């Protein structure tokens, strides 16, 4: 088991959260708290860079939806970058690939 670590950095388009480790029931609350504390301005884009994500369960998927709701409440956008194949499969199965813009990496996701 690899505990979740989230690194935050700023890009020209807005904040980027980089994930490392497992996003599951025990760590999804941490993500929701971090998202709630992330200030967004109208027109910005929140990018969730999942390149280092090794596991994601349904609690993690629910946290992504909470992040989307937070971004939209702030009149901001959200995008997922470098989504691992196993997580992408789940997103596609439940139709969330239609709600989240998906990018190959955070560099592409943060282009203005």
Structure confidence by residue, pLDDT tens digits, 2-49? 899 999 999 999 999 999 999 999 999 999 999 999 999 999 999 999
Mean pLDDT of the chain: 95
Quick one: pLDDT band at residue 68, thresholds 50, 70, 90? very high
CATH topology of domain 5-109: Transcription Regulator spoIIAA (3.30.750)
Predicted pLDDT of residue 20: 97
> What 3 state SS string does 36-66 have?
HHCCCCCCCEEEEEEEEEEEECHHHHHHHHH
With a cut of 80, say whether residue 97 has pLDDT above it.
yes
What distance in Å separates the CA atoms of residue 45 and residue 33, rounded to the nearest whole number? 18
Mean pLDDT to the nearest integer, 60-88: 97
What distance in Å separates the CA atoms of residue 61 and residue 94, rounded to the nearest whole number? 10
Predicted pLDDT of residue 1: 65
The DSSP secondary structure of 69-110, one letter per residue, reads HHHHHTT-EEEEES--HHHHHHHHHTTGGGTS-EESSHHHHT
Q: Domain coordinates of the chain in residue numbers?
A: 5-109
Q: Residues for the chain: how many in total?
A: 112
What distance in Å separates the CA atoms of residue 13 and residue 20, rounded to the nearest whole number? 22
What distance in Å separates the CA atoms of residue 45 and residue 109, rounded to the nearest whole number? 9
Mean pLDDT to the nearest integer, 47-62: 96
Quick one: pLDDT band at residue 80, thresholds 50, 70, 90? very high
pTM: 0.95
Predicted pLDDT of residue 67: 97
CA dihedral 78, 84, 86, 87 (to 10 degrees): -20
């Amino acid at each position: 088991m690899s505990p979740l670590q989230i690194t935050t950095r700023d890009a020209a388009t807005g904040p980027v959260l980089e994930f490392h480790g497992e996003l599951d029931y025990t760590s999804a609350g941490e993500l929701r708290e971090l998202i709630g504390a992330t200030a967004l301005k109208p027109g910005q884009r929140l990018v969730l860079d999942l390149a280092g994500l090794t596991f994601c369960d349904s609690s993690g998927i629910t946290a992504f939806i909470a992040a989307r709701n937070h971004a939209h409440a702030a009149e901001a956008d959200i995008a997922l970058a470098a989504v691992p194949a196993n997580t992408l499969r789940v997103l596609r199965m439940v139709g969330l690939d239609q709600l989240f813009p998906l990018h190959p990496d955070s560099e592409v996701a943060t282009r203005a």
